[in-house]
A and B are shown apart, each in its own frame.
Chain A
Amino acid sequence: MSHDHDHHHHHDHDHSELSETELRVRALETILTEKGYVEPAALDAIIQAYETKIGPHNGARVVAKAWSDPAFKKALLEDGSKAIGTLGHVSRVGDHLVVVENTPERHNMVVCTLCSCYPWEMLGLPPVWYKASPYRSRAVRDPRGVLADFGVTLPTDMEIRVWDSTAETRFLVLPMRPAGAEGWSEEQLAGLVTRDSMIGTGFPRTPGAPS
């Protein structure tokens, strides 16, 4: 499956570059395999694991639980990795996950200006925009301008806190629970949690709005 020719053209690249890169990547894999460093089936399994096991659904369940369970929320804000570790069924989580709470007074946003650090276990692999120069350059200086690119506007007097992920700590935003979802189950609430709301570049869905 992973060896299929897949002709989605990325807008940044013309076809000749893609072909050359693809050939070089294949050549490297051949060399690593022939030298006995890697087993191709193990590479397939890594890809399959990323495609099926991690993703924003993990973070969404954590957020929904925090919205529903005040004791869990308190534990989550004190030690994210430890609290999520108690939810064996949600996701495995690495050390040093810091969960930061949005409030009516403060909005949090996460970036990695130096590379692309991102809470993979909670959110999956980062989207292209998160890893690209426009976001990495502007998030720490003009976050309101960046949010405007996402169609998001904050009250003018609200504090914006930007967390630059410069070490092996990872940050997950706990968005505010939207009104209108009183009495909803954790599973229903999880359906309101978007990936971007956990990065801080968006809000959760509004109950009743088309998703």
Chain B
Amino acid sequence: MNGVHDMGGMDGFGKVEPEPNEPMFHEAWESRVLAMVRAMGAAGAFNIDTSRFYRETLPPHVYLSSSYYKKWFLGLEEMLIEKGYLTREEVAAGHAMQPGKALKHGKFDLANVERIMVRGKFARPAPAPARFNIGDRVRAKNIHPTTHTRLPRYVRGHVGVVELNHGCHVFPDSAAMELGENPQWLYTVVFEGRDLWGADGDPTLKVSIDAFEPYLDPA
């Protein structure tokens, strides 16, 4: 979707402000939100792409004015409600009012902690040969899906070069909508900065994205 989360190239956000000796969490609740997201994802309530989609679909003014973990919290709460793991009445009451829904991988308990400290695996067997080779020129499609996608707006319509082939991976556009993993070839595609940003752009800049095969046409 063409949401405010797709920020590459936008103006007006000001300077980057590094924080010296930044703490891991600025408030204790942030750590609880992180842990709940990790736990409920590992228990099978949602996949990583669905959780990203729920953050992206926050109203733009909420997305832009919420801290990072606040966005995580708002996305988590709404997603769990819509997926039937809790109800709005329970959220309003602050307590469970009916039994829980079965989780694909069961309750998240202490025995599950170790396994979530390494990222999940996203590579899958290839359903078809790769369409592109290293060095091929490709054009990012001019597409505007209203659902989740990982093709940022700033490259759409532009020509780049395939630099790396990462194999076949879970396709976020399908997985986010719970339409299955639909594995697709994944490539690093590199673009000239001036092709993206015009003649005034930095001539020394090259930008790459990792692009799934359905995002690309031969050029």
Contacts and interface: CB of A to CB of B under 8 A. Distances in A.
B145 interface: no
B151 A6 contact: no
A164 B8 contact: yes
Given A134-B14, A167-B166, A170-B119, 10 more contacts: A6-B27, A32-B40, A37-B43, A94-B118, A96-B122, A129-B17, A132-B68, A134-B16, A159-B205, A169-B166
A114 B122 contact: no
B205 A115 contact: no
Contacts of B7: 113-114, 133, 136-137
Contact of A158 (B110, B193, B204): B204
| Interface size bracket, B side | 35 or more
A48 B189 CA distance: 38
B67 interface: yes
A46 B38 contact: yes
B96 A35 contact: yes
A167 B169 contact: yes
Given A37-B85, A37-B103, A134-B17, A160 B11 contact: no
9 contacts: A29-B36, A30-B96, A46-B113, A53-B117, A96-B123, A113-B7, A113-B8, A125-B24, A162-B208
A22 B8 contact: no
Interface residues of A, number: 90
Contacts of A49: 113, 117
A138 B193 CA distance: 12
A16 interface: no
Interface of B: 5-11, 13-19, 22-24, 26-29, 31-36, 38-40, 43, 45, 48, 52, 55, 64, 67-68, 70, 73, 76-77, 85-86, 90-91, 94-96, 99-100, 103, 107-110, 112-113, 116-123, 150-152, 154, 164, 166, 169-170, 172, 186, 188, 190, 193, 196-197, 201-202, 204-212
Nearest to B8: A113
B185 to A, nearest CB: 11
Contact of B55 (A22, A47, A115, A201): A115
A5 B29 CA distance: 9
A131 interface: yes
B117 A162 contact: no
Nearest to A154: B204
Contacts of A26: 29, 32, 94
Contact of A27 (B34, B76, B91): B91
B40 A127 contact: no
